């Protein structure tokens, strides 16, 4: 699932979100939750918890691409509580990519350290207007 939704920013209600996870739990299936736009909600009060916080078989994906605005770095992470699933994901990661580039990791760290300032700019009312709009 993808919340906040890309490209609309839509979010389910907390009750609907919980229900989705309850349905998954009733069948014992894992849920992959793309949370790359988390922290950029229009209304902070609508923010949903990470799926992994509510369901032990959820996998939450995040990174610096959208929230921090560093898409070119290709730095992200998964949060997993299920030990067996985590081992399988680590094996896949090790098979496909041993490590990222050091410059990307250093720039991602700088972005994460400045996260509060970056998020404030990304979510400010003045930034919500189109950057393409100009006075006539």
| Whether pLDDT at 39 is above 80 | yes
Percent of the chain having pLDDT more than 90? 78
Split at pLDDT 50, 70, 90, the class of 116 is very high
If you average pLDDT over every residue of the chain, what do you get?
90
What confidence score (pLDDT) does residue 73 get? 94
DSSP 83-129: HHHHHHHHHHHHHH-S---HHHHHHHHHHHHTHHHHHHHHH-HHHHS
Percent of the chain having pLDDT more than 70? 91
| Whether pLDDT at 61 is above 60 | yes
Q: Token pair for residue 136?
A: 């006539």
Residue that the structure tokens 């939704």 belong to: 5
């Amino acid at each position: 699932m993808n919340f906040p939704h890309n490209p609309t920013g839509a979010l389910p209600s907390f009750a609907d979100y919980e229900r989705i996870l309850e349905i998954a739990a009733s069948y014992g299936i894992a849920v992959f939750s793309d949370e790359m736009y988390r922290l950029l909600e229009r209304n902070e009060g609508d923010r949903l918890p990470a799926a992994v916080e509510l369901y032990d078989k959820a996998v939450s994906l995040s990174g610096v691409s959208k929230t921090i605005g560093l898409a070119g770095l290709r730095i992200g992470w998964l949060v997993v509580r299920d030990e067996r699933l985590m081992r399988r994901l680590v094996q896949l990661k090790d098979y496909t990519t041993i490590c990222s580039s050091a410059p990307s990791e250093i720039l991602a760290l700088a972005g994460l350290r400045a996260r509060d300032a970056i998020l404030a700019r990304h979510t400010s009312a003045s930034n919500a207007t189109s950057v393409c709009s100009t006075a006539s």
